[in-house]
Chains A and B, each alone.
Chain A
Amino acid sequence: MSELTSAAPATNEAPEYKERSRWELFKRSTFWYSFTRDRVAMVCAFIFALFVSAALLAPVLAPTNPYDLAAIDIMDSELPPAWAEEGDERFLLGTDDQGRDLFSTILYGMRISLAIGLFAVVLQAFIGIVLGLMAGYFGGRIDSFLMRVADIQLSFSTMMVAIIVLAVFQASFGSELYSKLAMLMLILVIGIAEWPQYARTVRASVLAEKKKEYVEAARVMGFGSGRIMFRHILPNALSPILVISTVQIANAIISEAALSFLGLGMPVSQPSLGSLISSGFEYIFSGSWWITVIPGVVLVVLVLVLNLLGDWLRDVLNPKLYKG
């Protein structure tokens, strides 16, 4: 009742209605409002945007190209960051064991990590949304079958599946072919291993949505199942999908880093953040801490801001937690 009373004046001010642009609607939304009120979310979004743009602009920003073997001098290997005593002004964050500029390598590595995270999540979301929608909407046997498949998939941990698949692939096709297809393989493996997360979330919200009368209205109109699922139910079930997506991107980046650290991920010639950490790990006791620590810090910050953004998004999109 009191919600109604407090909402009443808002509906009264509507007589003159001008068509608002999407941007104006966005600026008036609760989403934008709570974003501007939440300092943590703003800082996180800023850092994330900074990382993404740095990764995208890597060819412009990076002083050297770490993929260009001709530009690398082995004599420059393991130089400490520029501020250290033995540092070299040319290499801001020092160099790794092969003499590559660490700053440039991190920029390019972040590119790879973000791309793998993003595409793996797109794949997960695609499989998960389609199967989750079908399970939730049709119910009955289709639901039981798909959800049991999901349970089986979940009972194997992502890492275990990934390690087995990647190791078998590497052993049977040789590491040459593997290093060419590494990125694709990582995306496929992480994408397929994690789809049940999406399928379960989507199914839960479909079950809630399909009881609502707008779905019945669509069926009375004679619309087909596909149209109802994708055009009517899916847009209303997007909020939880958005929330888990942020967390899933962070998870995929971590999985990729872990696999690369184990030597099953990106090859040394195209290092991701994970393989950089791994390549420096051997030198950490010989004093070359920066090769491991600096990409490690970048990875931790990247995953942290993604998780914090996901938390914030969950709070905003959950109407039960919405406070004035």
Chain B
Amino acid sequence: MSLLEVEGLRIEFPSRHGTAVAVKGVSFTVEKGEILGLVGESGAGKSTVGNAVIDLLSAPGVIAGGNIKLDNQTISGLHGEAMRKIRGRRIGFIFQDPMTSLNPLLTIETQMVETIMVNLDLDKAAAFEKAIELLESVGIPEPAIRIKQYPHQFSGGMRQRVVIAIALSGDPELIIADEPTTALDVSIQNQILELIRELCKKRQVGCLFVTHDMGVIANVTDRVAVMYMGDLVELGTTEQILCRPEHPYTQSLISAVPRTDVKLHRFPSVEYIEKAEGHQIDVKNHWLGEQEVFGNPSGDVLLKVKDVDLRFETQSAFFKKNRRYVQASNKVSFDVRPGETFGLVGESGSGKSTIARVIAGLYPPDAGSIEFAGQDITRLTEKERKPFRRQIQMVFQNPYSSMNARMTVRDIIAEPIRFHDLAESERQVNQIVSDLLDHVGLGRASGVKYPHEFSGGQRQRISIARALATRPRFLICDEPTSALDVSVQAQILNLLKDLQEELGLTMLFISHDLPVILQMCDRIGVMKMGSLVETGDTDRIFSDPQHEYTQHLISMMPRVENLSHEGLEIEAQVAHV
């Protein structure tokens, strides 16, 4: 008899456009002390399953069929008071974002003691004892002091520990963790995963672990269930799913995961997701391929960043001495050679996006210079800078906010061409836009639509087309795939690689994701707290990191190893420390 049994679960969302079936007859079990990973891409219905177990489906979702049993007792269809007895006491829930899942106005003590008193029928003093004990077990130092504090006094990782402690406070038999590490940095992610694993084993608690991240799956789960469009397509042990996937969707999903052991020339073509439309154009003989001579074409450095300093005011004041600053960029220097991809990697807040924005001309640096093709562009007036703006373009992180929602895709892409007078006639503008849409895989017919009619991956294609519309030589990609699913990520990275090859683009690629950096970049700079701590060839950085922080980052990198090498175009083997 299993701890949690889900049988033929079907969840529907009726709406005015018809009924959307989010989960189509899913069955699985979770045993005591076992971590079952529920993996899939956005829209697969994995979180919906987790929410359905404890009746947290957001309206208008309903369980339309099947049943859920906890310890042989049917719990599907329970609502209100009956479900309340199960939540907390028998099933704990760990939410995704620790920044918003704690009440900012109450101390940790109030939040924990209340939960424990309600769930375990203890008096206040006993509940307090229990809370301290729990905080200690999730690795919070000096729990007796920390428990009196408010959530804002904890870091993200510490908060997630508190959330886990609260989830455990009712001594539940089952924990549902919904993307518990997605909002955290890599180094903290590892600690949290370790903690969840240890707690489940020690307390013999079953865990349903919902995630989209194959690296997390490889690190923490015992068995994995793969979901695709509401169907459970494959269920097996973690090793079996990762190394010998049987279902074609699982195979394509696994092959899209950025590898850490080999560098690929290209990701294998990924099926089972949105197909690219339109035909490829011959770029070499096209307007897009025409290269103008610009600046000083000889020379082996295209972009030279030299001692760039930038600080932001965090507290403004009339008198200088009262102002406070945060140093976003501290004497950063690096060179980018023509035709290469230079990667900037670092955790959130390390200043990598700031550097990108300084290069793109969004912030003027406080000190230092940026030379593009031999010309210092930081000292130019807006008018003098205009031709340089065209040469340096940027692809942004968030595909949902990086496009003007009130313009059609055609207008979005045509605007820079018109603005910089790059085409001779309106007819040519239209021709260029259509070709661009075709080439990035959207199809020319999509120009009449508005951005909200596209998925995240498609929007990132639009974003790339817009950046290419000015025929830039230098493309800055600021976390271009961190908001996307892994198979869509593979497609976008392939597209960027192809475009770079065809157009001879030079790229600055920014990411917090080491495997992605490994796959994309020729050279890497590692950033920490606004400073560049190490620069070097990708191979060298991964095999022989010099700086302590680089070593730390690489050791924290989630490893997905022993994957099958079938059908891969391997460019180089990568050794690790």
Give the interface of A toward B (CB within 8 A).
1-11, 14, 17, 19, 33, 212-214, 216-224, 227, 232, 235-236, 238, 323-324
Contacts and interface: CB of A to CB of B under 8 A. Distances in A.
A217 to B, nearest CB: 6
B403 A214 contact: yes
B82 to A, nearest CB: 22
Interface string B8-24: 00000101111011110
Nearest to B275: A15
Nearest to B469: A221
Main secondary structure of the interface of A (DSSP, over half): helix
Given A6-B13, A232-B404, 20 more contacts: A1-B46, A1-B47, A2-B58, A2-B61, A5-B13, A6-B61, A7-B43, A9-B17, A11-B455, A14-B453, A17-B449, A212-B402, A213-B398, A217-B394, A220-B362, A220-B394, A222-B419, A222-B420, A224-B382, A238-B406
A234 to B, nearest CB: 9
Nearest to A25: B450
B449 A220 contact: no
Interface in B415-458: 415-416, 419-420, 445-446, 448-449, 453, 455
B42 A213 contact: no
A53 to B, nearest CB: 30
Q: Chain B interface residue count: which class?
A: 35 or more
Given A214-B404, A217-B466, A8 B397 contact: no
B415 A221 contact: yes
B386 interface: yes
Contact of B51 (A2, A216, A217, A224): A2
Nearest to A5: B22
Contacts of B397: 213
Contact of A5 (B43, B178, B396): B43
Contact of A216 (B18, B396, B449): B396
B63 interface: no
**Residue among B45, B47, B362, B404 with the highest chain A CB neighbour number at 10 A:** B404
The 8 tightest CB contacts between A and B, nearest first, are A222-B389, A1-B47, A8-B43, A213-B402, A235-B406, A6-B13, A5-B22, A213-B396
A19 B448 contact: yes
A212 B406 CA distance: 14
A14 to B, nearest CB: 7
Interface in B1-58: 13, 15-18, 20-23, 42-48, 51, 57-58
Nearest to A37: B16
Contacts, number: 116
Nearest to A235: B406
A253 B311 CA distance: 51
Contacts of B229: 8
A6 B48 CA distance: 10
Interface string B290-301: 000000000000
B357 interface: yes
12 contacts: A2-B48, A2-B61, A6-B20, A8-B43, A9-B18, A9-B21, A33-B16, A212-B402, A213-B396, A221-B419, A222-B419, A324-B15
Contacts of A227: 419
B221 interface: no
A213 B449 CA distance: 20
B555 interface: no
B385 interface: yes
B118 interface: no
Given A11-B455, A14-B453, A214-B402, A220 B360 contact: yes
B470 interface: yes
Contacts of B61: 2, 6
A8 B22 CA distance: 8
A220 B397 CA distance: 14
Nearest to B52: A2
Contacts of A8: 20, 22, 43, 229
Given A5-B43, A324-B60, A222 B386 contact: yes
B572 interface: no
B470 A221 contact: yes
A63 B213 CA distance: 76
B448 to A, nearest CB: 5
Contacts of B178: 1
A8 to B, nearest CB: 4
B416 A221 contact: yes
Nearest to B450: A25
B401 A212 contact: yes
A245 B393 CA distance: 39
A223 B13 CA distance: 43
B373 interface: no
Contacts of B386: 222
Contacts of A219: 361-362
Contacts of A218: 404
Contact of B445 (A2, A7, A17, A232): A17
A24 B397 CA distance: 33
Contacts of A238: 406
Contacts of B130: none
Nearest to B56: A2
B421 to A, nearest CB: 12
B328 to A, nearest CB: 16
A8 B227 CA distance: 14
Contacts of B453: 14
A170 B463 CA distance: 59
A103 to B, nearest CB: 43
A227 B385 CA distance: 17
Interface string B510-552: 0000000000000000000000000000000000000000000
B357 A216 contact: yes
B145 interface: no
A44 to B, nearest CB: 22
Contacts of B90: none
B206 to A, nearest CB: 21
Contacts of B58: 2-3
Given A5-B22, A11-B455, A236 B45 contact: no
Nearest to A223: B419
Contacts of B60: 324
A221 B471 CA distance: 11
B405 interface: yes
A5 B45 contact: yes
